[in-house]
Structure 1
Amino acid sequence: MTTRRTRGDGSVRPRTGDARRRMVEGAIESLRSHGASATSVDRVLASTGAPRGSVYHHFPGGRTELINDAIAAAGSFMSTFIEQLTREHDPLTALDEFATFWRRTLLDSDFRSGCPVFAVAVETNDDTPEFAHAAAEIFARWHRALAEMLVRENVAQARANRLATLTVASFEGAIALARAQHDITPLEDVVDELRGLLGAVVPASRD
C-alpha cells in the first residue's frame, strides 16, 4: 500500500513500506539535520522504524554504503530540480523559484533542514573520502546547469562560470547562516543581491 509523507520542504511524495527506501530517506533527513558524522545506522533505524535485520541485507557496506546512497539520491533529486529550473526559466525566474524552495524548507523545518550535500562536503571524512568526491560531483552538476543557462542568455562562458560559482556558494552559505541564526534574513539578503547582479548582467548580454 502506498501512503503519502510530507517532506521537510513542505512537499508531499509517495512513500512505500520498502525498508531500503525508508532507510535512504531517513539517512537523507539525518544528513540534512545532523550532518554526516552524526548519521548512524541506529539513528536511521530509530527514525524510520526499519527492521535492524534489513541493514546488511540492503546495505552490505553498512553505514558507508547507506550514506553514499543517501548522497546520491539527494543529489539526483536536487540536480534534476535545478536542471529543470534552468532549462525552463530565465535566470531571474529560476533564482526566485529556487529561493522559494529553500525559504519554504527552512521555515517549515524550523531551520533544522539544510542541504545534505553541503553537510557531507564541509566535514572531514578521511576514512570515507568518497563522500566528499560525491558531493564535488553533485556541485559540479549544479554549476554546469547554471552556467549553461547563462550562456544561453549570451553571457560569456568565463563570466557564466564565475556567476554559477557565486550562486552555488552564496546559497549554501546563506542556508548555513540562516540555520545558525534561526533567521531567514541571510537567504533574503543573498537572493536580493543575486537578483540585482543577474538583472544587470543578463539584459546587458542581450544588447
Structure 2
Amino acid sequence: MDRQVQKPEGVVLTRKGLATRQRIVEATSALVREHGTAATTLDDVRARTATSKSQIFHYFPGGKEELLLAVAEYETDRVLLDQEPYLSELTSWQAWQNWRDLVVRRYREAGVHCPLGVLITELGRKTPAAQALTGRLLERWQDRLRVGVEHMQLSGEIDPGLDADRVAASLIAAVQGGVTVLLSTGGIGHLEAALDTSLALLRATGVTPRWRDPESDVASMG
C-alpha cells in the first residue's frame, strides 16, 4: 500500500500520485518548450501523459493556470541548476565568462518557448502565487551572484566600494531584460549585449595591479 504524503495545500497524495503529478508537470514543460504556452492545451497534456481529464483536474483543480504555475515552479529549480557549476564558483573572471556563456546558451536553446517565460511574462502579472514564486527565485539567484561579487571584491578584481547586492541585482536585471526581448523578438543579441556590457564595466572597476615584466622594472631602474 502506498504511503500517503501531505502536500502543502492540504491535499493528500500517495507516492504514486505524486509521481503521476510530477510526470504531468514535466510533460507539460516539454510541450511548452515545443509549442509555446498559448498553443499547449489540456488535451495535449492528456495525450502526452495518457491521463484522463478527471486526473488532470484532480492534481490541478485550477485547470491550465494552476498546471502552468506548477510548470513554472519546476522550471525555477532548473534555472539555477542549469547555471552550475559556475554559479556557485564565481571566483575568477574565467568562471564569470563561463557562467555568462552558459546562461546565453540556455536561453538560445529555449528561445521564445522558454517555460519560465510563462512565470515572468504571463502568470506573474496577474497571480500572487506566481509573483511570490518569482520573488523566491530571484532572491536565491541574487544571493549566489552576490557571493561571487564579494569574492571578486576580496581579491581586488571588483571595486570593494560597490554594493555587492545591488551589483547582483543589476546582473539579474540584465538577464531578465534580455530574456524579455528574446521572448518578444526571438533574438538573443540583447541578452548577450546586456551581460557583456555589465561584466566589462565590473571588470573595469578592479584595483588589482596589472602584471608587469620584471625585466622592464630592472631596465627602468638602470
Q: How many corresponding residue pairs? A: 185
1:25-174 to 2 correspondence within 5 Å? 25-29=26-30, 34-35=36-37, 40-46=41-47, 48-52=48-52, 53-60=54-61, 62-82=63-83, 84-90=85-91, 92-109=93-110, 111-114=111-114, 116=116, 118-123=117-122, 128-154=127-153, 156=160, 159-174=163-178
Give the unaligned 5+ runs of structure 2. 1-18, 154-158, 211-222
1:204 CA displacement: 2.5
Report the Cα distance in structure 1 between the residues aligned to 2:128 and 2:31, rounded to whole angstroms: 19
In structure 2, how many angstroms separate the alpha carbons of the residues matched to 1:25 and 1:184? 25
2:22 counterpart of 1:21? yes
For the structure 1 residues 59 and 93, does the alpha-carbon distance in structure 2 shift closer, same or farther, using more than 3 Å as the test?
farther
Maintained 8 Å contact 1:174/1:186: yes
Question: 2:184 is matched with which residue?
Answer: 180
Q: Distance in 2 between matches of 1:182 and 1:127?
A: 24
- CA-based RMSD of the aligned residues comes to 3.4
Decide whether aligned partners of structure 1 residues 206 and 78 sit closer, same or farther in structure 2, where only a CA change above 3 A counts: farther
Q: Secondary structure at the match of 1:88?
A: coil
The alpha carbon displacement at 1:172 in A equals 1.2
The structure number with the bigger radius of gyration is: 2
Aligned to 1:204, the other structure's residue is in SS state coil
SS at 2:113's partner residue?
coil
Higher relative contact order (CA 8 A, sep 6+): 1
Q: From the superposition, tell whether residues 24 and 174 of structure 1 become closer, same or farther in structure 2 (CA, over 3 Å).
A: same
For the residues of structure 2 that align with 1:31 and 1:144, how far apart are their CA atoms? 29
Letter paired with 2:22: R
Report the TM-score when normalising by structure 2: 0.65
Match of 2:193 in 1: 189
Q: Could you give the per-residue CA deviations for residues 82-123 of structure 1, whole angstroms, max 9, x where no partner exists?
A: 4642322336334433333343344445x333360x532333
Matches of 2:32 and 2:97, distance apart in 1 = 25
* AA partner of residue 166 (structure 1): S
Identity value in percent: 22
Counterpart amino acid of 1:148? V
Pick which of 162-171 and 54-63 moved more: 54-63
Alpha-carbon contact 2:112-2:182 (below 8 Å) kept:
no
Which residue number in structure 2 is paired with residue 198 of structure 1?
202
How much has 1:163 moved relative to structure 2?
A: 1.1
Cα distance in 2 for partners of 1:152, 1:169 equals 21
Residues 82 and 106, structure 2, Cα contact 8 Å, conserved in 1: no
